[in-house]
């Protein structure tokens, strides 16, 4: 088990893995709070001379993932959001999005989890906010967030690298991986069930 998690971790602790993690972090079903930040900080601690590169990759991945999520929101529309977002969360998000422009909503991307940013991206797409304004603003605020983390990691990374050799770190990684797997499965099942309920309701209405 430990070797499996180490293999997965070693894959994500690469520039390509960071880009992929950024895209997954902004997707509808993937669930790992602070996962992108975790990978970014470790990579920078290992190679502090590349502190400028990793935030760019993380930001690019985030924008790609958010762009896909925004497009999904636009395709399903406001009615379809109930299949992807919990009703309690959706009501709160819709109220905020309806009173803010694309720039204001995208700027919320600087806030780390547990802030439900994916729900805001979906709702922004469904409400047809300007995609270019939204995504360019998101890129700016995410770059600021990731650059700040990278600079700190480059400065204080030696202590982190020493901590990575401990059994405590291994236990944390295993716990995070288990959380990601469980959370992703739960999210995916919830989406599938919601879609099925929507289809049954549509057939009942048509009948």
**101: DSSP letter:** -
Distances 35 to 1, 18, 25, 148 between C-alpha atoms, Å: 20, 10, 7, 16
**83: DSSP letter:** G
122-135: pLDDT as tens digits: 888 888 889 999 99
Most confident of 10-14, 33-37, 151-155, 174-178: 151-155
SS3 label, residue 98: helix
Listed range (20-29, 63-72, 134-143, 194-203) with the worst mean pLDDT: 194-203
Confidence of residue 80 (pLDDT cuts 50, 70, 90): confident
Packed helices 131-163 and 35-46: angle between N→C axes, nearest 10 degrees: 60
* Tally of structural domains, the chain: 1
Q: Which domain holds residue 114?
A: 2-206
Packed helices 53-80 and 15-25: angle between N→C axes, nearest 10 degrees: 20
Confidence of residue 93 (pLDDT cuts 50, 70, 90): confident
Confidence of residue 30 (pLDDT cuts 50, 70, 90): confident
| Dist. CA 71–CA 68, nearest whole Å | 5
Whether pLDDT at 144 is above 70: yes
**pTM, rounded to two decimals:** 0.76
């Amino acid at each position: 088990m430990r070797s499996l998690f180490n293999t997965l971790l070693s894959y994500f602790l690469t520039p390509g893995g960071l880009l992929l993690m950024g895209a997954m972090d902004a997707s509808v079903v993937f669930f790992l709070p602070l996962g992108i930040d975790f990978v970014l900080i470790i990579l920078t601690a290992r190679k502090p001379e590349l502190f400028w590169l990793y935030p760019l990759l993380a930001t690019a991945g985030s924008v790609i993932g958010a762009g896909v999520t925004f497009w999904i929101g636009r395709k399903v529309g406001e009615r379809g959001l109930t299949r992807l977002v919990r009703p309690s969360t959706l009501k709160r998000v819709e109220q905020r999005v309806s009173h803010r422009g694309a720039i204001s909503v995208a700027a919320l991307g600087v806030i780390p989890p547990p802030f439900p940013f994916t729900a805001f991206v979906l709702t922004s797409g469904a409400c047809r906010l300007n995609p270019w304004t939204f995504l360019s603003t998101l890129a700016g605020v995410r770059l600021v967030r990731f650059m700040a983390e990278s600079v700190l990691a480059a400065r204080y990374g030696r202590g982190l690298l020493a901590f990575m050799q401990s059994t405590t770190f291994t236990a944390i990684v295993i716990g995070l991986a288990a959380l990601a797997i469980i959370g992703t499965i739960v999210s995916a099942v919830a989406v599938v069930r919601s879609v099925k309920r929507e289809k049954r309701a549509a057939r009942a209405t048509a009948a």
